[in-house]
Amino acid sequence: MNSAININNIKYSILKKINDPISLRKLPEKELRFLCQELREFLLDSVSYSSGHFASGLGVIELTVALHYVYNTPLDYLIWDVGHQAYPHKIITGRRDQITSIRKKNGLHPFPFREESKYDALSVGHSSTSISAGVGIAVTAEKE
């Protein structure tokens, strides 16, 4: 467990139960709003501790939770346009305890990275690669 942020803190009572999208989907729908609040707090605490980009991540917390709740990830692909948007995604896909290592030597990659997680459908870097990649994935899926 990462000693930088105590996930057992009472303010993370729901988030500490989320180790992957499967555990997320077990939550009652009425708890998702509270999970988003905790995820927002955790992201702020994490970035305050280790630095990084948080504005994009804060803007997609509800979207990230909803997508993982509704879709069967990793079988259904989620493609992020910019890695900074993916911090909440990383937190709820099994990398919560390593999030403060992001952008550090031997730490989490700052962008979605296929070799890091089965939930990262595409390794991305800077913006605008997602549209062409998504179209390519969709066309390939139609042909299969």
pLDDT of residue 9: 77
More confident residue, 80 or 5: 80
Q: Are 17 and 23 in contact (CB under 8 A)?
A: yes
Q: What is the pTM of this model?
A: 0.89
Q: Is the per-residue pLDDT at 110 higher than 50?
A: yes
52: alpha, beta or left, given left = phi > 0 and alpha = psi -120 to 50?
A: left
Query: Where in the chain are the domains?
Result: 1-142
Give 11-58 pLDDT, tens digit per residue. 999 999 999 999 999 999 999 999 999 999 999 999 888 777 778 899
- Confidence band (pLDDT; 50, 70, 90) for 4? low
Classify domain 1-142 by CATH number: 3.40.50.970
Greater model confidence, 82 or 109? 109
